[in-house]
Amino acid sequence: GAVVSQHPSRVICKSGTSVKIECRSLDFQATTMFWYRQFPKQSLMLMATSNEGSKATYEQGVEKDKFLINHASLTLSTLTVTSAHPEDSSFYICSAIQGWGNEQFFGPGTRLTVL
Amino acid sequence: AQSVTQLGSHVSVSEGALVLLRCNYSSSVPPYLFWYVQYPNQGLQLLLKYTSAATLVKGINGFEAEFKKSETSFHLTKPSAHMRDAAEYFCAVSDEEDSSASKIIFGSGTRLSIRP
C-alpha cells in the first residue's frame, strides 16, 4: 500500500519557538494532504486541507497564521507551528490522497511537546 | 452537520470472544462510512469502508461491519478477538459537502483491550 512518512516523529521545544513538521508521500504523488491534531485520548480533528501549489484551506477555529502549511510539491507538505505554546502540545498526523475521491493514507504522526 | 457517535470509550473482551464496537451516524444524505484502527503512537489504518455497494462490509484482520439505515448504525464486529487487536478504533463519516468522500469526520474513538 501507499506509504506516508512524517519527520520528526517526536519533538520537544521551548515556548515561543517555531517547529516544522514534514509529511511525505513516499511512493505516490499526493495532490492533497490533510493535517490533523489529536489530543490525548481524543479523536482526530482536521486542521486544514492542503493542495499542491495552492493555499491551504483551514477549518473553522484553526489559526492560519499560527499553523503555516506549505505544499510545494506533490510529495511534500510541511506544517510549521509558529511561536509554540504548551497548549499546542499534541499529536499531529498528516494524510495524503492521490487524487480527490481516493483513500487517505496516514502518516505515523509527530508528537510535539512544548515546554 | 454530519457526525458519528461511538458508544463506549473503552471496551474490554477476553481473547477469543466476540468484539462489538458500536457506531451511530447522523447524516442528511447517504454517507460513506469508515472504520480505522490506530496502534499506539502510530497513524491510522483503514479497516473497511462502506460506499453503498453492500450493507455488510468485510475488512482486514477479520473485521466486518454492517450498515443498517433503519438504525443509522455501522457497528464493527469480529468473531474472535486476538491480543494483537488491542488498539484504538475510530468510526468516521464522509463530509456531506464532499461527495467524493475524501474529507472525513472522525468519532471520538473506542479503546479495545483484550484480556488473556
| Mean pLDDT of successive 10-residue stretches along chain B, which has 116 residues | 88 97 85 90 88 88 94 96 96 72 83 96
Structure confidence by residue, pLDDT tens digits, A45-71: 999 999 888 889 999 999 999 999 998
Which residues does chain A have with pLDDT short of 70? 1, 100-101
Alpha-carbon gap, residue A57 to A64, rounded angstroms: 9
Q: Give residue A61's Cα distance to chain centre.
A: 16
Q: Which residues of A touch B (CB under 8 A)?
A: 4, 6, 32, 34, 41-46, 49, 93, 95, 97, 100-104, 106-109, 111
Considering only CA atoms, which of A52, A49, A79 is closest in space to residue A66? A79
Q: Which residues of A touch B2 (CB under 8 A)?
A: none
Tell me whether strands A90-97 and A105-106 are parallel, antiparallel or unpaired. Answer: antiparallel
Say which DSSP state B59 is in: -
Instruction: Answer for the pair B71, B25: CB distance below 8 angstroms, yes or no.
Output: no
Contact A72, A60 (CB under 8 A): no
Mutation pick from A4, A9, A39, A43 vs chain B, by most beta carbons of B within 10 Å, is A43
Instruction: Give the integer Cα–Cα distance in Å for B54 and B68.
Output: 11
**pLDDT tens per residue, range B49-58:** 998 778 899 9
Residues 6+ apart with CB under 8 A from A3: A25, A26, A27, A105
Q: How far is B40 from chain A (nearest CA, A)?
A: 10
The reported pLDDT for the residue numbered A13 is 95
Type of residue at B49: K
The answer to whether the CB of B82 falls within 8 A of the CB of B15 is yes
Mean pLDDT over the full length of chain A = 91
Dihedral, CA of residue B50, residue A108, residue A82 and residue A38, to nearest 10:
50
In the prediction, which pLDDT does B51 show? 83
